[in-house]
Amino acid sequence: MTAPPTKAAPGDAGLLRLPRLAITAGEPAGIGAELLAVLAASDVAADLVAIADPDLLMRAAATRRLDLRLDADDGRGLAHRGPGSLRCRAVPLRAAVRWGHLDPANAAYVIESLAEAADGCRDGRYDAIVTAPVHKGVINDAGVAFSGHTEFFAQRAGVEVVMMLATPTLRVALATTHLPLAAVPAAITRASLQETLRILHADLRSKFGFAEPRIAVLGLNPHAGEGGHLGREEIEVITPTLEALRAAGMQLIGPLPADTAFVPRQLAQCDAVLAMYHDQGLPVLKAQGFGDAVNLTLGLPYVRTSVDHGTALDLAGSGRADASSLIAATRMALRLVARRGSPGT
């Protein structure tokens, strides 16, 4: 499914325009810029606007021997994009880049590119955001508190969000995101879990077209607490929350023991799985579909998708990075924009 062209903005002579996707290049010392160059060479039918340093993009394209054509983004509608072409909203690097070598001086460059993407979606200049991987550690080393794209976009938009990864056959959302494991139990409350499930339920309906989404909810503890003998979070927090939301009409399964929740028979009964923490659900999904998985931020007032992998510093500059996840994330963004309606509406 490809997002259909729509009427261009005033001043664009009534042309049908492609959906405008803001593509951020992520950590400049990693593989992000190379991934953008490969994406530009693909046949993806979208107005791809790279928010990045143009010289970095050209350097990255050279590592793949790709003939990249960069045009300054003027904000006007684009009816057709030729393979190898990319529009660029220039954000300057703060320091020279050596492939594979992190530099805290460029943390401000990364943050500025994310802010431009978020603010552009808010203002209607872009229809969706697709992000290449960032390196959380080096941003924090620069003195900027940063726990991830998901939290950054949520704070920027002033909304509560849910992180979900999806492959063509499996969707896994998270009740908590980038937290130390020791902090997870206290972070799961009846209020937070109810908010997470409401966001997940709403976006499964509006973005994925499930009229009555079926959500499997995992327990926190082994064997979902074993009746309270292996932890009481299921009894005191998770089960009461599920009961309250079932009474409101949601189709919720669980809490389920995580070790058997992903067997085919169980997955056939649900449209998405809600895991309690990052490494409870995502290893299964990535083992099943690494490279084809897409990271989504649910609950935002716009579409945001991302790759399912990190910065791959060891591959940076080698010309061997695999762009399949970025291309999958871009195609997913287009499908979600199409489902939402005409871009810009």
Q: Give the C-alpha separation, 40 to 59, whole Å.
A: 14
Q: Of 272, 293, 314, which residue is a domain's last?
A: 293
Which pLDDT does position 279 carry in this prediction? 95
Judgement on whether residues 190 and 124 belong to the same structural domain of the protein? no
Q: Is the pLDDT of residue 12 over 80?
A: no
214 pairs with which residues across the strands?
A: 251
Judgement on whether residues 273 and 317 belong to the same structural domain of the protein? no
Q: Give the C-alpha separation, 237 to 221, whole Å.
A: 12
- The tens digit of pLDDT for each residue in 121-155 reads 999 999 999 999 999 999 999 999 999 999 999 99
23 with 50: CB under 8 angstroms? Answer: yes
Which pLDDT does position 341 carry in this prediction? 64
Please state the rounded mean pLDDT for residues 59-74.
95
Judgement on whether residues 323 and 185 belong to the same structural domain of the protein? no
Q: Give the C-alpha separation, 307 to 290, whole Å.
A: 10
Judgement on whether residues 11 and 116 belong to the same structural domain of the protein? yes
Judgement on whether residues 337 and 276 belong to the same structural domain of the protein? no
Helix (H) or strand (E) holding 139: helix 136-141
Enter the tokens of residue 195.
């908010």
Q: Give the C-alpha separation, 315 to 295, whole Å.
A: 21
Q: pTM of the full predicted structure?
A: 0.88
Judgement on whether residues 144 and 5 belong to the same structural domain of the protein? yes
End-to-end Cα, the chain, rounded Å: 19
Judgement on whether residues 177 and 57 belong to the same structural domain of the protein? no
Regarding beta strands 162-166 and 171-174, do their DSSP bridges make them parallel or antiparallel, or are they unpaired? Answer: antiparallel
320 with 63: CB under 8 angstroms? Answer: no
Which stretches of 112-182 are assigned E, i.e. beta strand? 128-131, 162-166, 171-174
Residue 216 identity: A
For residue 239, the enclosing domain spans 162-293
Query: On the CB side of 196, how many CA atoms lie within 13 Å of its CA?
Result: 28
Following DSSP, what letter does each residue of 32-49 receive, concatenated?
HHHHHHHHHHS---SEEE
Q: Which residue has the tokens 């990535």?
A: 286
Q: Of 274, 293, 312, which residue is a domain's last?
A: 293
Judgement on whether residues 243 and 169 belong to the same structural domain of the protein? yes
Please state the rounded mean pLDDT for residues 159-175.
95
In angstroms, the Cα distances linking 256 to 226, 277, 306 are 11, 14, 28
Judgement on whether residues 254 and 307 belong to the same structural domain of the protein? no
From the list 163, 162, 129, 148, the residue with the least C-alpha distance to 329 is: 129
Judgement on whether residues 216 and 99 belong to the same structural domain of the protein? no
Which pLDDT does position 245 carry in this prediction? 98
Assign 345 a pLDDT band (cuts: 50, 70, 90): very low
Judgement on whether residues 1 and 115 belong to the same structural domain of the protein? yes
Region of residue 2 (left: phi > 0; alpha: psi -120 to 50; beta: else): beta
Q: What is the DSSP letter of 250?
A: -
Domain total of the chain: 2
Q: For 306, phi and psi rounded to 5 degrees?
A: -155, 170
Judgement on whether residues 146 and 209 belong to the same structural domain of the protein? no
Q: For 10, phi and psi rounded to 5 degrees?
A: -55, 140
Enter the tokens of residue 11.
């001043």
Look up the CATH number of the domain holding residue 275: 3.40.718.10
- The tens digit of pLDDT for each residue in 292-330 reads 889 999 999 999 999 989 999 999 999 999 999 999 999
Interhelix angle 32-41/54-63, rounded to 10 degrees, is 70
How many CB atoms neighbour CB 320 within 10 A? 12
Q: Which residue has the higher pLDDT, 98 or 7?
A: 98
CA angle (52 as vertex; 49, 57 as ends), nearest 5:
95
324 with 291: CB under 8 angstroms? Answer: yes
Which pLDDT does position 201 carry in this prediction? 98
Please state the rounded mean pLDDT for residues 54-66.
96
How many CB atoms neighbour CB 41 within 10 A? 18
